[in-house]
């Protein structure tokens, strides 16, 4: 038995070392600087410290996390400033409507309500497990009428009256119940992390939809502006044609250009309506009720821009606060406790049982002192034969443990991928945005030149049409790129685990309000 326990302990230590050896290189990978917005997400001093950490890293067996240089490096980059930046990252956009929508979603979103209910369920499960470790007492009353065989020692019918209380207490000598309690506590923390993860996803989804809405409204404004310009040119060319100064071809070219630009309006309006409805659902409102709040007529519509300087100094270690990683970790540790509890099913179960009450064959003397009865004593049960059920259950729990560990590793890898993808997307979209705006400036100049030369009779109307189409296309692309830049920034905040704050000590209320 001791040999088996030693083997299990060695297996557990090896698994924990695997976790450490997996986490450290992953965090080093995250720390590799990727530049966006003309600067680095990490500060120069942070880069140097991460490089020092890389030099320190040899193998997991040689790294002592507790009190090591690792902890000092981590603590040197953490602080309330960074926590606040990530916890309320949407404030960096300076958009009151966005902030209002996110607050409404936290209060009213139905997925959030589901996540809160699951936290309450997990808390109740912890309470139920703790209650199961306490003594139990039951009161009861009994009356039975029985008739014995004529050939028994006491023939005839008999009555038995009993009132009393029975108590029992299963002693947790070997920690089986404690492991079950620990598993439920870890499950509770996992559900709390899942609630936090819902906050992260919800805030990012609301922000993405809001930026998409403003981007669509900006595109609509650009299309309407170009329609006005193209209509003026069409009316001018048409009047010149009626005066015999222009041919029919120029009129038809200007008209089909105008109509093609008009054709973009319905699809943009449809997308605006769909995005407003999506925001209504995310905030727990009936679709259509947010129209006034989000309407372009009531606002100076522009795509929100974030203060990207707030990103500078956010450490790569911030990735470790992602609630989905915490949830995967808690699920894994909870399963470890379940497996330990299953292993302890081999051990004996020791309990105390007792009863006290009144018992008599007659109601006449039921309340006499002689009717008092009691019993007390220990009880030990030890599994002897169960066709290998305990062993098979241990195998089940061990297999589940490995599944949770694999899921934990995958979650970390996915988190690293999301951060790197978001950083790359930010950098590349910023470069694309700069190129588009240079192109737009050139196209606008080309349109002015082509228009002047056309009315001077130096070029055909085709050059004007080409320049007009280029200006409209590049303006539309620039608006789309501005929106994508901000959506990529939202994705980065989400990848870093932004959008939630750690729960307070008063866990009965704070996480659920």
Q: Taken in order 282, 284, 287, 289, is the CA torsion positive or negative? A: negative
Between the CA of residue 77 and those of 40, 66, 184, 422, 442, what are the distances in Å? 15, 17, 33, 21, 45
Backbone angles phi, psi at 164, to 5 degrees: 180, -165
Residue 39: per-residue pLDDT: 37
| Helical segments of 168-263, H only | 176-242, 248-262
**β-pair partners for 499:** none
Residue 330: per-residue pLDDT: 92
Residue with tokens 């064959």: 361
Residue 104: per-residue pLDDT: 92
Residue 293: per-residue pLDDT: 87
Q: Are 322 and 496 in contact (CB under 8 A)?
A: yes
Q: Are 340 and 199 in contact (CB under 8 A)?
A: no
Q: Given its phi and psi angles, is residue 229 left (phi above 0), alpha (psi -120 to 50 degrees) or beta? A: alpha
| Helical segments of 63-161, H only | 69-77, 80-87, 96-108, 110-132
**β-pair partners for 147:** 157
Residue 315: per-residue pLDDT: 56
Q: Given its phi and psi angles, is residue 457 left (phi above 0), alpha (psi -120 to 50 degrees) or beta? A: left
For each successive 10 residues of the chain (513 residues), what is the average pLDDT? 50 51 44 37 39 34 35 38 65 88 90 89 88 82 71 66 82 86 90 88 93 94 91 84 79 88 93 94 91 75 75 60 88 92 88 82 73 81 85 93 93 89 90 94 92 84 87 93 93 81 44 41
Backbone angles phi, psi at 160, to 5 degrees: -130, 125
Distance in angstroms (rounded) separating the CA atoms of residues 151 and 263: 104
Residue 499: per-residue pLDDT: 67
Indicate the SS3 state at residue 438.
helix
The size of the chain, in residues, is: 513
Residue 434: per-residue pLDDT: 94
Residue 221: per-residue pLDDT: 92
Residue with tokens 């960096």: 92
């Amino acid at each position: 038995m001791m040999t088996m326990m030693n083997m299990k302990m060695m297996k557990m230590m090896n698994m924990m070392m695997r976790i450490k050896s997996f986490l450290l290189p992953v965090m080093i990978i995250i720390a590799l600087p990727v530049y966006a917005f003309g600067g680095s997400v990490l500060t120069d001093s942070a880069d140097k410290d991460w490089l020092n950490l890389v030099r320190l890293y040899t193998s997991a067996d040689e790294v002592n996390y507790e009190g090591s240089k690792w902890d000092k490096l981590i603590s040197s980059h953490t602080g309330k400033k960074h926590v606040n930046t990530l916890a309320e990252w949407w404030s960096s956009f300076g958009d009151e409507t966005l902030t209002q929508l996110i607050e409404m979603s936290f209060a009213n979103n139905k997925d959030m309500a589901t996540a809160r209910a699951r936290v309450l369920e997990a808390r109740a499960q912890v309470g139920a497990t703790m209650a199961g470790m306490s003594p139990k007492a039951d009161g009861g009353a009994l009356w039975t009428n029985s008739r014995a065989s004529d050939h028994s020692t006491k023939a005839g019918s008999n009555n038995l009256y009993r009132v009393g209380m029975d108590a029992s207490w299963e002693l947790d000598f070997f920690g089986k119940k404690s492991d079950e309690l620990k598993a439920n506590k870890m499950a509770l923390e996992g559900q709390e992390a899942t609630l936090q993860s819902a906050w992260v996803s919800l805030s990012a989804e609301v922000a993405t939809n809001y930026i998409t809405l403003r981007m669509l409204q900006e595109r609509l404004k650009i299309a309407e502006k170009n329609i006005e310009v193209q209509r003026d040119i069409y009316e001018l060319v048409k009047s010149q044609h009626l005066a015999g100064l222009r041919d029919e071809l120029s009129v038809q070219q200007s008209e089909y250009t105008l109509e093609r630009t008009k054709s973009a309006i319905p699809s943009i309006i449809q997308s605006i309506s769909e995005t407003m409805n999506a925001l209504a659902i995310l905030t727990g409102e009936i679709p259509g009720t947010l129209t006034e709040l989000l309407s372009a007529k009531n606002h100076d519509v522009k795509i929100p821009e974030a203060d990207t300087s707030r990103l500078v100094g956010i450490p790569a270690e911030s990735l470790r606060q992602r609630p989905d990683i915490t949830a995967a970790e808690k699920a894994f540790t909870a399963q470890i406790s379940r497996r330990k509890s299953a292993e302890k099913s081999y051990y004996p179960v020791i309990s105390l049982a007792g009863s006290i009450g009144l018992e008599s064959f007659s109601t006449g003397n039921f309340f006499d002192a002689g009717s008092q009865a009691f019993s007390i004593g220990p009880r030990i049960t030890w599994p002897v034969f169960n066709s290998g059920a305990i062993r098979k259950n241990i195998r089940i729990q061990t297999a589940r443990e490995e599944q949770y560990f694999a899921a934990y590793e995958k979650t970390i890898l996915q988190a690293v991928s999301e951060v790197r993808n978001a950083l790359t997307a930010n950098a590349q979209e910023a470069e694309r945005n700069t190129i588009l705006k240079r192109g737009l400036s050139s196209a606008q100049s080309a349109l002015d030149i082509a228009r002047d030369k056309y009315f001077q009779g130096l070029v055909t109307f085709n050059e004007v049409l080409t320049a007009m189409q280029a200006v409209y296309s590049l303006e539309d692309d620039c608006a789309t790129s501005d929106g994508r830049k901000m959506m990529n920034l939202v994705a980065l905040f989400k990848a870093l685990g932004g959008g939630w704050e750690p729960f307070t000590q008063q866990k009965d209320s704070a996480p659920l309000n």
